[in-house]
Amino acid sequence: MENFKIDNPTILHFGKDVINDLGETIKKFGNRVMLVYGGGSIKRNGIYESVMNQLDEIGAEVIEFSGIKPNPIVDDVNAAAEKGKQFQPDVILAVGGGSVIDSAKVLSLAIPCEHSAWRIMLNMAKPTTAIPLITILTLAATGTEMNSIAVLQNVETHKKIPIRHDLIYPKHSFLDPQNTFSVPKDYTAYGVADLIAHAMEAWFGKGIATLSDRFVISIIQEAVENGPPLLNDLHNYELRARIMYAATQALNGFTMYGRVSGEWGVHSIGHILSLLYDTPHGASLSVVYPAWLKLMKERIPQRIHEFGKAVFNSSSADETILNLEDFFISIDAPVRMNEIGIGKDKKPELLDMMIKNKVNGMYYKLSNRDLERIVDLMYFG
């Protein structure tokens, strides 16, 4: 086991109606609030109104920035930063899924910083301070509500990259499973796929950490048992709660302690699909993971089988991959390129972009030939 430090400063408020504590929590940071959200789902499902009631009660002065897109782009963060520099908020309140929260994280660094948001993403600016960030999570998937990661896309330079920075842990995150009732079936499934992929990226990482391995398996068992019934019962509080908590624990450090690193090759490929074809993040992963495993079964059959045995009671690495694919199919998550609308004619463009972006794993390195084999497996199984 490697040395490690546990220091996750995010305070999580989990459960029914936790939003009732939002106003008082915000007040501790000040009363100038910059509210950030996406394309309007929070207006349709009533979350916006509850947030505004809380802000009214504390007499907050509020400025809004909306329209953050799924697979968020850095231009929106720059535009928000301009607004923020004029308004000088005491606190940023992000209400949405991973795209909104990730954008708000980079925004929290960009407002007090001289550099553009992309220079921050590229680690060329060295931010020393951030506007405090509070989040209300509305979609269970990414784990961003309790980690120090943000992922943004630059449409000009064709890059989708993550940044990790200690200053962007949210100060508080409010997770009410009721706020995810309105997430449609497809995005609910993509969220389940994403959280499973996060736990798997830890499992296939470098280093031996047996307790963290057990956490990985438990998180995935929770997703495998509760994901399918949830898809037939989208307003089931208990199922929504189990998936929401699993998604948070899948990427807040919990599965990583004692390892050297995670793997992240599958995510790296998934980001290229999102960059080129705007594929929803979780949908990209349910296509790439089985293909990556099919390549890797020649190199690490034992590790793959160990995983499958624990999660699905699989009898071999091959069966593990089939079981995982069947699981994704059972929740209507795509497993082949045609299911996400990407034709065979796109293969050269896709490979080219993967190579240009230096797509690779952190532990298992991928040659250009490996990338091509993975892409073929994504098309043809």
At a CB cut-off of 8 Å and minimum separation 6, what does 163 contact?
A: 106, 120, 121, 123, 149, 150, 151, 152
Determine the interface stretch with ligand NZQ among 24-32, 138-146, 223-231, 353-361 (rule: CB under 6 A). 138-146
Instruction: Give the C-alpha separation, 218 to 211, whole Å.
Output: 11
How many CA atoms within 13 Å lie on the side-chain side of 117? 28
Q: Does 194 bind Zn ion (CB under 5 A)?
A: yes
Q: Does 138 bind ligand NZQ (CB under 6 A)?
A: yes
Site for ligand NZQ in 322-341 (CB under 6 A): none
Asked if residue 194 lies in contact with residue 141, where contact means CB atoms within 8 angstroms, the answer is yes
DSSP-derived 3-state class of residue 237: helix
Of 100 and 117, CB closest to ligand NZQ: 100
Of 25 and 142, CB closest to ligand NZQ: 142
Among 29, 65, 174, 187, binds ligand NZQ (CB under 6 A): 187
Residue 182 contact partner, candidates ligand NZQ, Zn ion, none, CB within 5 to 8 A by sort of partner:
ligand NZQ
Asked if residue 30 lies in contact with residue 90, where contact means CB atoms within 8 angstroms, the answer is yes
Asked if residue 121 lies in contact with residue 161, where contact means CB atoms within 8 angstroms, the answer is yes
Of 264 and 312, CB closest to Zn ion: 264
CA distance to 65, 91, 96, 148, per residue, from 38 (Å)? 9, 18, 7, 20
Site for ligand NZQ in 211-270 (CB under 6 A): 251, 267
Sign of CA dihedral 197, 201, 204, 208: negative
Of 43 and 126, CB closest to ligand NZQ: 43
Of 145 and 194, CB closest to Zn ion: 194
CB of 314 to ligand NZQ, least distance (A): 25
Of 138 and 320, CB closest to ligand NZQ: 138
Among 54, 70, 77, 292, binds ligand NZQ (CB under 6 A): 70
Residue at token pair 């250009």 = 368
Locate the DSSP E strands across the chain: 11-14, 32-37, 61-65, 91-96, 133-137, 149-154, 159-164, 172-175
Of 74 and 269, CB closest to Zn ion: 269
| Residue type present at position 351 | L
CB of 285 to Zn ion, least distance (A): 6
Q: Does 39 bind ligand NZQ (CB under 6 A)?
A: yes
Among 127, 132, 143, 308, binds ligand NZQ (CB under 6 A): 143
Determine the interface stretch with Zn ion among 33-41, 191-199, 212-220, 312-320 (rule: CB under 5 A). 191-199
Determine the interface stretch with ligand NZQ among 127-135, 187-195, 231-239, 311-319 (rule: CB under 6 A). 187-195
CA distance to 27, 130, 146, 201, 305, per residue, from 74 (Å)? 29, 17, 21, 26, 40
Q: Which two tokens mark 235?
A: 């307003």
Determine the interface stretch with ligand NZQ among 28-36, 69-77, 230-238, 305-313 (rule: CB under 6 A). 69-77
Residue 71 contact partner, candidates Zn ion, ligand NZQ, none, CB within 5 to 8 A by sort of partner:
ligand NZQ
Question: What DSSP string runs through 277-331?
Answer: H---HHHHHHHHHHHHHHHHTTT-HHHHHHHHHHHH--SSHHHHHHHHHHHHHHT
DSSP-derived 3-state class of residue 35: strand
Residue 138 contact partner, candidates Zn ion, ligand NZQ, none, CB within 5 to 8 A by sort of partner:
ligand NZQ
Q: Which residues bind Zn ion (CB under 5 A)?
A: 194
Contacts to ligand NZQ by CB under 6 A: 38-41, 45, 70-72, 96-100, 102, 138-139, 141-144, 147, 149-151, 179-180, 182-183, 187, 191, 194, 251, 267, 281-282
